[in-house]
Amino acid sequence: MSHSTLPQTRTTHGAAAPPPATTVAPPSRTAAARPGEPPSIWPASAAPLGHDDLAVGGVPLTELADRFGTPAYVLDEDEVRHRCRAYLRAFPDTDVFYAAKAFLCRAMVHWVQEEGLGLDVCSAGELELAVTTGFPPERIVLHGNAKSPADLRAALRLGVGRIVIDSTSEIARLAAAVPAGSRQKVLIRVVPGIAAGGHAKIRTGTDDQKFGLSIADGSAQHAIARVLSQPRLELVGLHCHLGSQITTAKPYLSAVRRLVGLLARIHEQHGITLPELDLGGGHGVAYRPGEPALDIASLGAKIRAELAGGCAAAGLPVPRLAVEPGRAIAGPAGVVLYRVLSVKRTGAHTFVAVDGGMSDNPRPALYGVRYAPRLVGRSSAAAPEPVTVVGRHCEAGDVLAADAQLPGDIRPGDLLAVPVAGAYHLSMASGYNLVGRPPVIAVTQGQARLLVRRESLADIQERDIGL
């Protein structure tokens, strides 16, 4: 998402300020980048300090590393809030649901709620955390390709606003669980047959993968008919999620056309007009300088125009639109800090090993994501050299940043900061090698506070109760 779309009004915690009437140019972040490096991958609050240190949210990164240790995740609260507001501006009269799978903690629940967004969850765990934190369950959508009986029971018990049906077998199971005399609002997750996303493993809009019900083979139409036959289920709309890291509007516009066509067929065959259309998320962000990012303001305008035109041509009222951004809100707001443990030069390669790795960020190993780490807290006159930043785990694939440019005198004890680390890092973290998961620290207006504490050896040992 381009920072040109972000509103710039700063607020303190508590009641959210209304979106500004006009867009103000963001503060310059040139100093957060190396010479010639576009600064857009860093939070807007990133600012230079002496000795090549960097502050985020008004707090020096070296200070955070010393106070909280490394690895550690730093989350810029203002950046999260600005990105929430950017979506509300880009998608007026739209339900914007934050995708909790990107990153969730109690503070994030509060920020999203205060900024006026709904919540998209995929498990009873995410749902319970949100509701026990005070998030209104009627503003929550539950989906997932294989919801467990516990997931569905929790959703019904807590009163979630929408459940997304992902398979025909789920229809009867859910209907049987709904208490007598009540109805649960549901959406059908449709596969429109559109290939979009940054990697084959994160494309979910095509046939022959695990998500959703295909239009092409009639599965979606069959599921719609079955839901309509269930008196305890109320079909209110269609759901579609094309994939992740999508950087152009074209796939979304194609999806709108196909889904409007399906809405027209539903109206013709069943005599009903579905009032809601959820286009999911997958909005791409830049992880390294020069990479493309989806322009959210442009996307919102194009989608709304396409939807209005398609519905007018089909003789349908325009359904209530919903979108589900996750990465585009949390990702660019996060920075992860690592301490260099060793530097190994073998032939033509230099390996810089740090105190984290695939246990706190499996994404490079899973689908080749590339990052741009930066040395902070020490001035260096050495020319940049290509290095491979690797983790501490017993896997050759434990690579955090391939072909990274770092000073040629990089050495043990140095501090590295990696931007765009707020999404799908800690949420996908594992217990590999029994290395505890890092903490999450919020920064805003020169203050830092711990949101999620570091997982300790005692935490790990307490779970192991067998002899």
* pLDDT tens-digit map of 38-61: 447 999 999 999 889 999 999 999
* 309 and 436 both lie in a single domain: no
Last residue of a domain, one of 279, 300, 329: 329
Region 314-337: what's the mean pLDDT?
97
pLDDT, tens digit, for every residue of 280-316? Answer: 999 999 999 989 899 999 999 999 999 999 999 999 9
Last residue of a domain, one of 302, 329, 356: 329
Amino acid found at 453 = R
* 356 and 453 both lie in a single domain: yes
DSSP, residue by residue, 242-264:
-BS-B-SSHHHHHHHHHHHHHHH
- Among 84, 105, 122, 394, the one annotated catalytic: 394
CB of 146 closer than 8 Å to CB of 119: no
* 82 and 216 both lie in a single domain: yes
* 324 and 368 both lie in a single domain: no
* 182 and 201 both lie in a single domain: yes
pLDDT, tens digit, for every residue of 159-171? Answer: 999 999 999 999 9
Residue 243, domain extent: 77-329
CA distance 48 to 424: 27
* 149 and 265 both lie in a single domain: yes
State the pLDDT at residue 217: 87
CATH number of the domain residue 439 falls in: 2.40.37.10
Angstrom CA distances, 138 to 159, 212, 228, stand at: 6, 23, 22
394 annotated active-site: yes
* 117 and 208 both lie in a single domain: yes
State the pLDDT at residue 460: 93
How many other C-beta atoms are found inside a 10 Å radius of the C-beta of residue 428? 17
pLDDT, tens digit, for every residue of 226-275? Answer: 999 999 999 999 999 998 889 999 999 999 999 999 999 999 999 999 99
- β-strand pairing of 334-346 with 276-278: unpaired
Q: Quote the percentage of the chain above a pLDDT of 70.
A: 88
Q: Is the pLDDT of residue 33 over 60?
A: no
State the pLDDT at residue 347: 82
Residue with tokens 């390669």: 349
CB of 323 closer than 8 Å to CB of 1: no
* 299 and 214 both lie in a single domain: yes
* 248 and 295 both lie in a single domain: yes
CA distance 203 to 336: 26
Last residue of a domain, one of 329, 355, 375: 329
Judged by average pLDDT, the poorest of 36-40, 212-216, 259-263, 437-441 is 36-40
Structural domains counted in the chain = 2
Region 443-457: what's the mean pLDDT?
97
CATH number of the domain residue 147 falls in: 3.20.20.10
Q: Give the pTM.
A: 0.89
Judged by average pLDDT, the poorest of 197-211, 258-272, 327-341, 440-454 is 197-211
State the pLDDT at residue 21: 30
Six-digit token pair at 330? 């949390």
* 109 and 149 both lie in a single domain: yes
* 72 and 82 both lie in a single domain: no
Q: Is the pLDDT of residue 27 over 90?
A: no
* 69 and 84 both lie in a single domain: no
